[in-house]
Structure 1
Amino acid sequence: MERNIEINSIQDLITALDHFDSDDYYFRGEPSLHYSRIMSSAFRPYPLLFSSSEKKYIDYQEILDNYYLEIAHELLEIERDNFLHYSQHHGLPTPLVDITSNPLTALFFSCSSNFEENKSRVHLFQKNKFIDFSLFPKKEEMNLNNFFLDNEFTLQVFRKISDLSEDIKKQLLYECAQNLNPIKVGGKSLTDTKYIGIDPTPTLGYILKAIFQNETSSADDFYNKFTEIFSEHFDYDFKYNQKREKFRNALFIKEGKCFFELHSDKYSSDKLALIIIFLINEQSKNMVDDFQERVMLPDKYAQLEDSYNVVFPPIVMHPSVKFERMKSQEGTFLFQLAHFNGNTRSYIGFSKIKSDITFIINDKKEIFKALNRIGINQKTIFPDHDNIATYLKVKHLMK
Structure 2
Amino acid sequence: MADNKEYTIHSLNGYIELIKNEKLVDYYFRGENKKYNSISSSLLRRDTNKLLKNGYDFYEKIINNYYSEIATNVSDFERKNFIAFSQHHGLATNLIDITTSPLVALFFACDGSDDLLSKDSGYIYLFNINNTIDISKEIVDNFMPVGNCYNFLEKFITNIDTEKLFKKIFKNTLSNFSFYQYRDSLIEECSKLNNTLAREVLIFFNEYMKTCENMINMEANDIDICNKNLMDIIQMHGVKVTTDWKEESVLVLIYLSLLKEFLITLCSPYIAEECNVRLPLMPNLIYKTPYKFDRIRNQEGLFIYQLFLAYSIVDDGEGPTNLLRQNISPDVTIKVENQKEILSELDFIGINRKFVYGDYDNIAYYINNKYF
Superposition TM-score, scaled by structure 2 size: 0.76
Q: Measure how far apart 1:37 and its partner are.
A: 2.0
Q: Contact 2:174–2:252 (CA<8 Å) still a contact in 1?
A: no
Partner in structure 1 of residue 327 of structure 2: 352
Partner in structure 2 of residue 181 of structure 1: 188
- Kindly provide the CA deviation profile for residues 365-389 of structure 1, in whole angstroms up to 9, marking residues without a partner as x: 3322322232211111000101111
Name the % identity. 26
Q: Measure how far apart 1:88 and its partner are.
A: 0.5
Aligned residue type for 1:5? Y
Q: Contact 2:98–2:303 (CA<8 Å) still a contact in 1?
A: yes
Q: Contact 2:239–2:257 (CA<8 Å) still a contact in 1?
A: no
- Kindly provide the CA deviation profile for residues 208-230 of structure 1, in whole angstroms up to 9, marking residues without a partner as x: 9xxxxxxxxxxxxxxx8895399
Partner in structure 2 of residue 119 of structure 1: 121
Partner in structure 1 of residue 299 of structure 2: 329
Residues 1:251 and 1:390: Cα distance change in structure 2 (over 3 Å): farther
Q: Contact 1:338–1:347 (CA<8 Å) still a contact in 2?
A: no
Q: Contact 1:338–1:350 (CA<8 Å) still a contact in 2?
A: yes
**Secondary structure of 1:42's match?**
coil
Q: Measure how far apart 1:294 and its partner are.
A: 5.1
Aligned residue type for 2:156? F
Partner in structure 1 of residue 213 of structure 2: 228
Aligned residue type for 2:236? C
Report matched runs for 1:354-393 at 5 Å.
Answer: 354-393=329-368
**Secondary structure of 2:117's match?**
coil
Q: Measure how far apart 1:249 and its partner are.
A: 5.0
**Structure 1 unaligned spans of 5+:** 47-53, 209-223, 240-247, 297-305
Q: Measure how far apart 1:13 and its partner are.
A: 1.7
Distance 1:262 1:207 in 2: 21
Residues 1:177 and 1:226: Cα distance change in structure 2 (over 3 Å): farther
Distance 2:262 2:153 in 1: 10
Partner in structure 2 of residue 201 of structure 1: 202
- Kindly provide the CA deviation profile for residues 160-197 of structure 1, in whole angstroms up to 9, marking residues without a partner as x: 422346251xx132144146437xx961549x9xx99x
Distance 2:207 2:194 in 1: 13
Distance 1:55 1:351 in 2: 18
Aligned residue type for 2:63? L
Residues 1:160 and 1:146: Cα distance change in structure 2 (over 3 Å): closer
Q: Contact 1:132–1:317 (CA<8 Å) still a contact in 2?
A: yes
Residues 1:108 and 1:274: Cα distance change in structure 2 (over 3 Å): same
Taking only aligned residues, the RMSD between alpha carbons, in angstroms, comes to 3.9
Moved over 6 A (4+): none
Report matched runs for 1:125-136 at 5 Å.
Answer: 125-136=127-138
Q: Contact 1:155–1:262 (CA<8 Å) still a contact in 2?
A: no
Partner in structure 1 of residue 153 of structure 2: 144
Residues 1:272 and 1:380: Cα distance change in structure 2 (over 3 Å): same
Report matched runs for 1:210-289 at 5 Å.
Answer: 228=213, 249=231, 251=233, 258-264=236-242, 266-269=243-246, 270-281=249-260, 284=263
Aligned residue type for 1:162? K
**Secondary structure of 2:341's match?**
helix
Distance 1:188 1:335 in 2: 26
Q: Measure how far apart 1:330 and its partner are.
A: 0.4
Q: Contact 1:4–1:359 (CA<8 Å) still a contact in 2?
A: yes
Distance 1:339 1:395 in 2: 46
Aligned residue type for 2:77? I
- Kindly provide the CA deviation profile for residues 14-34 of structure 1, in whole angstroms up to 9, marking residues without a partner as x: 11211455542111112222x
Which is richer in strand?
A: 1
Find 1:17's aligned residue among 19, 27, 35: 19
Partner in structure 2 of residue 56 of structure 1: 50
Q: Measure how far apart 1:98 and its partner are.
A: 0.7
Distance 1:61 1:141 in 2: 6
Report matched runs for 1:162-177 at 5 Å.
Answer: 162-164=171-173, 166=175, 168=177, 171-177=178-184
**Secondary structure of 1:124's match?**
strand
**Which moved further from structure 2: 323-332 or 4-13?**
4-13
Q: Contact 1:325–1:381 (CA<8 Å) still a contact in 2?
A: yes
Residues 1:249 and 1:159: Cα distance change in structure 2 (over 3 Å): farther
Q: Measure how far apart 1:84 and its partner are.
A: 0.9
**Which moved further from structure 2: 334-343 or 287-296?**
287-296
Superposition TM-score, scaled by structure 1 size: 0.71
- Kindly provide the CA deviation profile for residues 78-116 of structure 1, in whole angstroms up to 9, marking residues without a partner as x: 222211111101111111111110011111112213425
Q: Contact 1:150–1:263 (CA<8 Å) still a contact in 2?
A: no
Residues 1:375 and 1:207: Cα distance change in structure 2 (over 3 Å): farther
**Secondary structure of 1:41's match?**
coil
Q: Contact 2:194–2:272 (CA<8 Å) still a contact in 1?
A: no
Q: Measure how far apart 1:310 and its partner are.
A: 2.5
